[in-house]
Chains A and B, each alone.
Chain A
Amino acid sequence: MSTGLLFALVGAALFPMGVAGLLVQRHLLRRILAFNLMGSGAFLILVGLAQRQDVADPVPQAMVLTGIVVAVAATALALALTRRLYALTGRLELPDVEHD
């Protein structure tokens, strides 16, 4: 198995792990962590799958570089919203809308 395919498979495990974390966890900081793990999984799939023959491909690499910077911006914005929610309501969880 090539290195690229191996890490693409790791990404394929990380992404659902992050999705499950995002849905199961209640604490907002934990949800932000899970969201970041999802992103890392997607990046690994993008680069790993393109490099299945273990030849470096600059196009997905540049895309992922862009993605990492956007991910940190999204994380910072999410943290700002979380801190604001906490300052206003004292809660660290989103309220339940429906009760099932």
Chain B
Amino acid sequence: MKKIAIQLAALVFALVLGSAMLDLDPAPVDLRPAVAAHLEASGVAHPVTAVLLNYRGYDTLLEVAVLLLALFAILAVIPDSQTGRPTPAAPVLQTLARLAVPLMLVTATFLLWAGAFRPGGAFQAGSVLAAALVLLHLTGLLAGWPQPGARLRWGLAAGFLVFLAVAAALLLQGHLLQYPPAWAGLLILCIEFALTLSLGLLLAGLFLFLSRDTEGAP
């Protein structure tokens, strides 16, 4: 009974939402011309990257902080356990993984570099890096991570810390995350490089820390 009521309510909600969209007037604010007009001064030539790291850099900074916090919470929640190497996959699969991972690293580097002027950037490069680490783990070539050591901790935090350092340095000039046009390209490249490394480790960490609690168990 309750189930049917919920499903009916959801159906009504969907219909109202859909019909409201069909009636909607065109948006009074259009940000596209503003984005295009300031692209020259943003330091990159791809509008999405410009929005992510320049116009709305604040959002991205907080997003990396959220990701870091989520990983802290996961580390706090999962129990301490002996981490074991997962059962090794078939040799053919391992060989394929060994071949694929260098190619994935090249892809990640390309995506990072391409982000300045075409689709790509730190997020995509970071997720390819994370996928490479997860692949190594699943084929038994990389053990699940125990509690992170000093080097891993610095790697996980690097993106956030570099971004925060740049933001703080710019704050001294009076504005949060307002890059001087001459320096914008270089600063964004530095931030993106650190972000790629950290996002790759963070996203892989979501998997590698979580999957360790069943390994070694019979």
Query: Do A and B share a complex?
Result: yes
Q: How far is the CB of A30 from chain B (nearest CB, A)?
A: 14
Which A-chain residue is minimally distant from B4 (CB atoms)? Answer: A24
The 8 closest A-B pairs by CB, nearest first: A58-B47, A20-B10, A62-B51, A73-B70, A76-B206, A16-B10, A16-B14, A12-B17
* Given known A49-B21, A62-B52, contact A76–B210 (CB-CB < 8 A): yes
Report the stretch among B58-66, B94-102, B181-189 that lies at the interface. B58-66
Interface centre among A9, A55, A65 (most CB of B within 10 A): A65
Binding site for B on A (CB under 8 A): 5, 8-9, 12-13, 15-17, 19-20, 23-24, 45, 49-50, 52-53, 55, 57-59, 61-63, 65-66, 69-70, 72-74, 76-77, 79-81, 83-84, 87
Contact B78 A83 (CB under 8 A): yes
The secondary structure that dominates the B interface is: helix
Q: For chain B, residues 10 to 37, give those with C-beta under 8 angstroms from any C-beta of chain A.
A: 10-11, 13-14, 17-18, 21-22, 24, 26-27, 31-32, 35
Contact B10 A58 (CB under 8 A): no
- From B27, B55, B123, A65 is in contact (CB under 8 Å) with B123
Using a Cβ–Cβ cut-off of 8 Å, how many residues does chain B contribute to the interface with A?
44
